[in-house]
Amino acid sequence: MDDVRIAPAGDGIHAAEERAQDRLLEAAEAALRLLDRIDQHAPEGLAFGGEGKVRKQLREAIKRSRLEADALAWADAESASEAEALDDLRDSLGHMPTDRERAAFLGGFREARAAHSR
């Protein structure tokens, strides 16, 4: 019988979707870098046609994906300071925090803010 891995509660499907989105974003960025490297090393005037259109589509898709990911990830932030703190968390982790990481961080952030305001 095959081993069945069960995702942690609360992170399962959403985390898998985020990982799939991350992989697509990474692939789009890699494709854009590849097109740039091809241009750097291709003989003058060599073009297949359509590279500019594909580059534009990739850049727009990457930009939209990043904006949508940030908007969804920070939708549970109650203030600009919480969203900024989440940005700092993302930077320190080197990746978008999972739902569980984000919830734990926001809980601690709110508790610290409440304790400070007393």
What is the per-residue pLDDT across 56-114, written as a single tens digit (0 to 9) for each?
A: 999 988 888 877 776 766 777 888 888 888 888 888 888 778 888 888 999 999 999 88
- For the full predicted model, state whether its pTM sits above 0.75: no
- Cα–Cα nearest to 22, from 116, 93, 80, 104: 93
Q: Please, are residues 68 and 27 in contact by the beta-carbon 8 Å criterion?
A: no
pLDDT per position as a tens digit, 13-44: 666 777 787 888 888 889 999 988 888 887 88
Strand locations in 33-114 (E): none
**pLDDT tops 50 at residue 1:** no
Tokens of 46: 């060599």
Angle in degrees, CA 81, 82, 85, rounded to 5? 85
> Is residue 21 within 8 Å of 47, Cβ to Cβ?
no
